[in-house]
Structure 1
Amino acid sequence: MYWLIGGSGSMNYGDELIVRGWMSYLSRNESVKNIRIETNSKVSSERFHEEGVESAKEYGTAIVFDDFLYGLCGSVAGLSFWEQFVRGVEFFDKGGVDIYGEENFDFIDSVRAIHLHGGGYFNDIFPWHGFILGFTMSLAKREGIPAMATGIGLMPMGKPSREQREKFVSLMDCFSVFELRDVESFRLVKSLSGGKGNVVNGFDDNFMLKREDLFSCDGHGGTNLVLSFIEHDICRMSRSYLKRLSEYAREFDRVVFWECYPWQDENVIEFMRSHISDLEVVCSRDWVYARGRLSQNDRVIVSRFHPHFCAARVGVSGVYNIKGRYYDVKHGSIVALGSGFGKGSLSRLIRPEKRQGVLCLYDEELASMKRKIVDIGVQDFSLR
């Protein structure tokens, strides 16, 4: 069994897009016939990815979802990321299997590969996820199970203590590849790893999907203004910004809100509709499964990471808004790859200039480099 572990399950566009990409890629690998995807909500993932699971069956691949590991990591609160990491490392030695029920761990006997897929779920914002990193590294080392990590973003992240770092270093060589998606995360892991492990400054996992698989062009007529804001953006938008955004919206045939987090975006959508009455909403699942329409005639104004990334890959012009180190690092990684997006502001409207960016021009080459990094790890898996 191939154990794919990550931060999906909240129906967030970026996390679910990454899962869709891995389901598509792995189901075409003849050596992978059974996949268990660990998410933070088994039920939500099953509903969201019915389409992807059915597609995998056409290749003879069975996919199941579970959230058992997330139940373990959330069972102890109040610890820092690195304290949770140590808790995960010591889980087996301190009788964790007996405490949580030996029968719940029977599936581990069938695990032939451990894969921490990409996303920004390992950091100080979600400290309980440190348990997952420690648990999987310890398990891979104890049982000799091939493991890899791809497209990981770690910022913001505090430094571990000397003891915590020593535990991290002692387990790093369990990974055939430990790929980071931004240079800040790469520098952190490189400095902590003590030269162990194959640490790579790589790419986000959305590159597992070809850019032609990201959006639909069916029936696309006219021009769209596509918006993707975060709830805390609301209080940062000046009256002048909202007035000019409303005026700018009238220049387009359609104004579309790119839903990313259904339960988080409800208030944002309601607020935006009070200023743009004809606002249309395309839900997260439709964007993930390429039913959202986007073309180079459109303009995009975003605060979220993956809408920026995917729109830039297909050459759409836009601007991005940031606040705080978490999104600063994320958007910065796209700009470093050659996004044509300009930096926006929520105090005054900056209209997107028509600018494609080199990311679009070199997308195939970047996606090919991503696949080569992944192939290093998957080859190791195939040996078992």
Structure 2
Amino acid sequence: MYYLIGGSGAPNYGDELILLQWLRFLHAEVLPLASAARVVVDNNSVAGSTALFGQRYPGVEFVSRFKRMQPDRAKGSFMKNLVYGLGFFSRGHWRDHPELADAIAQLQSARLVHLYGGGYINTWLSPASAFLIGLLADAAAHFQLRVAATGIGITPLQFAEGEDLGPLRQAIEAFTVFELRDTVGYNRLRQIVGDGPALLCGQDDAFLYPVARQTGSQGRRRLHLSGYRSGNLFERPDVHDWLRRHAGGFDEAVYWECAPQLEREIVEPLRRLLPGLRVAGVRELLFDGVPAHPGDHMLAMRYHPHLVAARLGVSGQYLAQSVYYEHKHGAVVQAGSRFKRIHAECGAPDTLEQPLAWRDGGWGELKRALARRLYAVA
């Protein structure tokens, strides 16, 4: 059995894309070699994951156990939650959670426990998720399990002066591999834990396979938009002016609705500004392909739309509305994107730049090689 834990299920396009890539890999390369093996995915929503993936991957069991159990979401610090995880089995914390009996039994029988990627573990937005790092490290020691983490975005990662960081070093050392998806996260964690054998500077889990273009979408030039509520780019007068001047030069404007429950207040004003705006939802982007081609252009706030569009040859600009997003968008630029940054004090440039090719670094091949090694199919 393989036990995967991650940040998908909301739904949120980037997190669901990561899970889709791992499900594709498991069904293409792992399960055919181990036909009796089971796959358990522990994430934020059984209903959400089943609705998206249940019919396509009927052998996968979706649960919400350890991912939802994080002990002190409201006030616990990163280190407090990590330490709690480090004692979950060895100090008997599991006895306080009889509802986890089945999950613990599954964990014990796993060939690999895999913490898959995303930016859901950091000290800024979600310090409670540090529990998962401690939990897997303790499971590795207590049950002699192989545990691995891939494509993790762990920054911002800030601690109080003098805070004991020894538990974080202890936890990382228990992993077979702990892959960071960007150099910022890798360098920050390396400052804390040193040059341990587990640490790996890698890429986002979305690189596992190429993302397909939508069938029949060629021949139309599109303007792609991706937003976020905090610091909403599309509320700015300078961006409104840019859209009025340039949107008419495209055959279609497409909004990538990555988190439908959070983005309705962005979409409706855009519909009034851009009559005919098409909204591409999570399901379409995942399973129907992305309607993006060289010659298209994107204004992006979200990270995975930038990553996917740039890989498909789209030009564009991005806004990094926080340190968290500076690191995320910066990782895409470092990986090969030619998108230009929109700064807070000025909007998109007056002219559209000619599309520049994605500078492919062979990230897909490297990612699949890592996956094969972790799942012992290399």
Common topology (TM > 0.5)? yes
Does the residue aligned with 1:72 lie in a helix, a strand or coil? coil
For residue 81 of structure 1, report the CA deviation from its aligned partner: 1.2
Determine the C-alpha separation between the residues in 2 that align with 1:258 and 1:96.
42
Does structure 1 retain, via aligned residues, the 8 Å contact 2:21–2:208? yes
Q: Establish whether residue 50 from structure 1 lines up as the match of residue 48 from structure 2.
A: no
- Which amino acid counterpart does residue 42 of structure 1 have in structure 2? V
Q: Distance in 2 between matches of 1:161 and 1:49?
A: 44
Residues 289, 164 of structure 1: CA spacing in aligned structure 2 closer, same or farther, 3 A cutoff? Answer: farther
Task: Report the secondary structure of 1:8's partner residue.
Answer: coil
Deviation of 1:332 after TM superposition, in Å, equals 0.5
Aligned to 1:35: 39
Distance 2:354 2:196 in 1: 45
Task: Tell me which moved more, 214-223 or 268-277.
Answer: 214-223
Say which is worse superposed, 287-296 or 265-274, in terms of deviation. Answer: 287-296
Is the contact between residue 141 and residue 171 of structure 1 (CA under 8 Å) also seen in structure 2? no
Q: 1:303 to 1:53 in 2, by over 3 A?
A: same
Q: 1:301, 1:352 within 8 Å by CA — same for their partners in 2?
A: no
- CA offset at residue 207 of structure 1? 0.8
Aligned to 1:253: 251
> 1 CA distance for matches of 2:340 and 2:194?
38
Provide Cα deviations, 1:126-169, integer angstroms capped at 9, x if missing partner: 11101111111111121111111111111111137777522222
Where 2:150 maps in the other structure, the secondary structure is strand
Q: Which residue of 2 aligns with 1:183?
A: 183
Structure-1 separation of matches of 2:290 and 2:358:
23
Deviations 1:299-354 (A, max 9, x none): 11111101111111121111111121100011111111221111124642325412
SS at match of 2:140: helix
- Measured in 1, the distance between the counterparts of 2:55 and 2:306 equals 25
Contact 1:341 1:352 in 2 (8 A): no
Deviates more, 1:337-346 or 1:18-27: 337-346
Residue 12 of structure 2 corresponds to 12
Whichever residue aligns with residue 353 of structure 2, its letter is: E
For 1:176-325, list aligned pairs within 5 A: 176-210=176-210, 213-234=211-232, 237-325=235-323
Residues 174 and 20 from structure 1, CA distance in 2 versus in 1: closer, same or farther, beyond 3 angstroms?
A: same
Which is further off, 244-253 or 104-113?
104-113
SS in 1 for 2:68: helix
> 2: distance between equivalents of 1:94 and 1:174?
17
Identity %: 28
8 A contact 1:155–1:184 mirrored in 2: yes
Cα distance, 1:122 vs structure 2: 0.7
Distance in 1, matches of 2:105 and 2:242, equals 59
Distance in 2 of aligned mates of 1:155 and 1:53: 32
SS of the residue corresponding to residue 289 of structure 1 reads helix
Structure 1 residue 86: deviation in Å?
Answer: 0.6
Q: Take 1:91 and 1:147, find their aligned partners in 2: how far apart are those partners?
A: 15
Alignment of 1:125-204 (within 5 A): 125-159=125-159, 164-204=164-204
- TM-score calculated relative to the size of structure 2: 0.91
* Cα drift, residue 219 of structure 1: 4.2
1:82 to 73, 79, 83: 79
Question: For 1:56-82, what per-residue CA distance to the aligned partner results, in whole angstroms no more than 9, with x for missing partners?
Answer: xxxxxx211111113320566311111
What SS does the aligned partner of 2:66 have? helix
CA distance in structure 2 between the partners assigned to 1:111 and 1:163 by the alignment: 34
Amino acid at match of 2:34: S
Note if 1:120 corresponds to 2:128: no
- Equivalent AA in structure 2 for residue 115 of structure 1: H
In structure 2, the CA distance between the partners of 1:161 and 1:289, relative to structure 1 (3 Å rule), is farther
> More helix by proportion, 1 or 2?
1
Q: Report which stretch shifted further, 323-332 or 197-206.
A: 197-206
8 Å contact kept, 2:177–2:198? yes
The code of the aligned residue for 2:42 comes to E
Corresponding letter in the other structure for 2:256:
W
TM-score w.r.t. the length of structure 1 is: 0.89
- Contact 2:190-2:199 within 8 A present in 1 as well: yes
How has the CA–CA distance of structure 1 residues 76 and 245 changed in structure 2, closer, same or farther, with 3 Å as cutoff?
closer
Cross-structure match for 1:72? 69
How many equivalent pairs are there? 369
Structure 1: state its 5+ residue gaps: 55-61
